[in-house]
């Protein structure tokens, strides 16, 4: 393949527009921070429940200090919860992810000379049209407070320009290798990982709940057994359940499998790409499939108004 890349190597993040790279990094950081705070909150509540067990087994002189510790842990958990709501990390994460996906779609349309970035008109007009599209994505998708910090410089990279100059066959191979195959592989990996995580966490929740039920039944015959042990186990099960619901492992596994299969079916049609017009139709179908899956991902998280559609 002509251009700055050798065949067999996937497109790198810095080959996309600079705004893509900045938005992708922000999305990753916000996602990581969101789940770190959620994890901290759940651990603090679990710690407070553990303190109640220690209180049941400690002498009377330790009751007050342990009660203070429990109160501190619960208060800290509520502070973390307040910070999560105040910072709105989850929503910002989705917004930056929507920017990333929209930019990726627009970039591939540009590189494949697909409408509205087709070969009609001179290069300067097409490049300006792409810049206008990127600016529209930035204004429409980015959080309002981020508009002041995300300066929009030139967004067309050397690699993007080189791909536009490739022959039809080279364009098709580039799109199949660096876009369709890459996305299909991502869906397959995410589907397997989410299914595995769903099974693992479900087993842990069931085991913890089963142990709590067994101890509750046992306590009928041994009423001197502290009830706090059962409460601790149920708190642990609830925390694990809250974590899995936040991660959406079960909800994501099957849709990613379906999306991967749809891309496989589309790839089987790649042989029909014989001219620029058929390439454009093929690119449109693939990008619509990817965009549809991202829309469903947002909908599952109740962020329906952030649909990642190309701003063209």
Q: pLDDT at position 224, please?
A: 77
Q: pLDDT at position 17, please?
A: 93
Contact 81, 41 (CB under 8 A): yes
Q: pLDDT at position 150, please?
A: 54
Q: pLDDT at position 179, please?
A: 93
Q: How far apart are CA 109 and CA 42, in angstroms?
A: 43
- For the chain, give every domain's residue range: 17-107+121-306
Contact 147, 92 (CB under 8 A): no
Q: pLDDT at position 3, please?
A: 39
- Note down pLDDT in tens along the chain; length 312 residues: 333 344 444 578 889 999 999 899 999 999 999 999 999 999 999 998 888 888 777 767 778 888 899 899 999 999 999 999 899 898 889 889 988 999 999 999 999 999 888 876 688 899 999 999 998 988 887 766 665 555 568 899 999 999 999 999 999 999 999 999 999 999 999 999 999 999 999 999 999 999 999 988 988 887 777 777 888 899 999 999 999 988 888 888 888 999 999 999 999 998 889 998 999 999 999 999 998 888 777 776 655 444 434 333
Q: State both tokens at 61.
A: 């002189």
Residues 6+ apart with CB under 8 A from 157: 14, 15, 16, 17, 18
Q: pLDDT at position 153, please?
A: 84
Rounded to 5 degrees, φ, ψ at 88 are: 50, 45
Q: How far apart are CA 312 and CA 310, in angstroms?
A: 6
> Which pTM does this prediction carry?
0.82
Q: pLDDT at position 5, please?
A: 41
Q: pLDDT at position 147, please?
A: 58
């Amino acid at each position: 393949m002509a251009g700055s890349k050798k065949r067999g190597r996937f497109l790198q993040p810095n080959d996309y527009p600079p705004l893509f790279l900045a938005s992708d990094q922000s999305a990753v950081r916000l996602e990581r921070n969101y789940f770190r705070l959620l994890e901290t909150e759940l651990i603090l509540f679990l710690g407070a429940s553990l303190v109640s067990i220690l209180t049941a087994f400690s002498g009377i002189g330790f009751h007050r200090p342990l009660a203070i510790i429990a109160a501190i842990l619960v208060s800290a958990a509520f502070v973390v919860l307040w910070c999560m709501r105040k910072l709105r990390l989850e929503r910002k994460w989705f917004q930056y992810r929507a920017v990333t996906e929209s930019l990726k779609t627009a970039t591939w349309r540009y590189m494949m000379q697909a409408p509205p970035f087709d070969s009609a008109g001179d290069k300067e007009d097409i490049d300006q049209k792409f810049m206008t599209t990127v600016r529209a994505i930035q204004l429409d998708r980015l959080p309002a407070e981020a508009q002041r910090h995300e300066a929009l410089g030139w967004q067309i990279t050397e690699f993007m320009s080189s791909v536009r100059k490739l022959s039809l066959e080279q364009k098709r191979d580039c799109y199949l290798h660096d876009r369709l195959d890459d996305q299909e592989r991502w869906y397959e990996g995410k589907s397997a990982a989410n299914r595995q995580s769903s099974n693992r966490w479900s087993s842990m929740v069931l085991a913890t709940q089963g142990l709590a039920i067994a101890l509750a039944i046992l306590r009928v015959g041994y009423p001197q057994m502290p009830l706090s042990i059962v409460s601790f186990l149920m708190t642990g099960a609830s925390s694990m359940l809250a974590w899995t619901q936040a991660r959406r492992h079960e909800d994501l596994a099957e849709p990613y499998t379906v999306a991967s299969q749809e891309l496989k079916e589309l790839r089987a049609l790649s042989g029909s790409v014989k001219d620029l017009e058929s390439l454009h139709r093929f690119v449109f179908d693939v990008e619509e499939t990817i965009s549809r899956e991202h829309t469903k991902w947002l909908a599952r998280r109740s962020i329906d108004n952030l649909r990642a559609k190309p701003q063209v």
